[in-house]
Amino acid sequence: MALQDYETALVTGASSGIGAAVVRALCAAGKKVHAVARRQDRLDALAAETGCIPHVLDLRDQAALYDTLGALDVDILINNAGLGRGFEDFTTTPAADIDVTIQVNVLAALHVVRACVGGMKERQRGHIFNIGSVAGLYPVNSAVYGASKGAVHLMSQNLRVELAGTGIRVTEICPGRIETEFFETAFDDDEAKAKFTKGFNIMQPEDISDAIMYAADAPWRVNVGLIEMTPTEQYLGGGNITPVPGR
């Protein structure tokens, strides 16, 4: 199944950033796109621009998630909704930040797939895109967020095994730093935000949507399992050793 063989798509976290960019790309490709997010004003504006079908939904509301998404026929799922609370010192991270990060990045991601995959199996076609992160592949000093995206990575790897023989493809996209609203919610401190977004050219949401469209348009015999993307000037690993006081 190349992109031309798919009819419908569902994008979570669609009101900004990667989600909005991929909604635009899929609508431009002639797909019927269901756009899911919490902010109605943003969704309404996106629907007016692209023709997508808006669904105002908090994915932490499990009953509403299944009521809304379970009723849709979805060929392409862009499992994108996520946030980055808990990026700072784990020992002082508020318990509420840990909970909301796991609820959105892990639990909601799992339930979104579960709500959509049954119909894909019945039709014997579909493509699941899970938006992970390089933080789920490498140590990057974010125990909570890294743990949540590590879960997304293994979910994607194991879905590939579970769905073998169903005609469903699974792709995980693992980006580095992107110019989105992510860092606005990840940090309360402006200086901390600046450390992650300044100093070199970071990626744009359209860079990620281009990768998604590439993988979706591959011939059916090809499953692009994982795409790792970073800005040219961002590298992973290395760093200085911090000595323990008194040793």
Digit-coded pLDDT (tens) for 105-158:
999 999 999 999 999 999 999 999 999 999 999 988 788 999 999 999 999 999
Given this model, what pLDDT does residue 246 score? 55
Mean pLDDT of the residues in the chain: 89
Residue 82 tokens read as 């996520």
Rounded to the nearest angstrom, the gap between the alpha carbon of residue 170 and the centroid of all alpha carbons in its chain is 13
53-56 β-sheet, strand order: 53-56, 32-37, 8-12, 76-79, 126-131, 168-175, 226-229
Active site residue 66: no
Q: Which of 37-51, 113-127, 229-243 has the lowest average pLDDT? A: 229-243
Give dist(CA 215, CA 4) in Å, integer.
Answer: 12
* CA gap 35, 52 in Å, rounded: 6
Nearest to 133 by CA among 116, 120, 146, 114: 146
pLDDT given for residue 73 in this prediction: 94
Amino acid 179: pLDDT: 80
Q: Of the residues 6, 66, 145, 235, which is catalytic?
A: 145
pLDDT at 238 over 60: no
The domains found in the chain, sorted by start residue, are: 3-229 (3.40.50.720)
pTM: 0.90
Residue 48's contacts (CB-CB under 8 Å, 6 or more residues apart) are: none
Distance from C-alpha of 153 to C-alpha of 155, rounded to nearest angstrom: 5
Per-residue pLDDT at 55: 97
Q: How far is the C-alpha of 49 from the C-alpha of 51, rounded, in Å?
A: 6
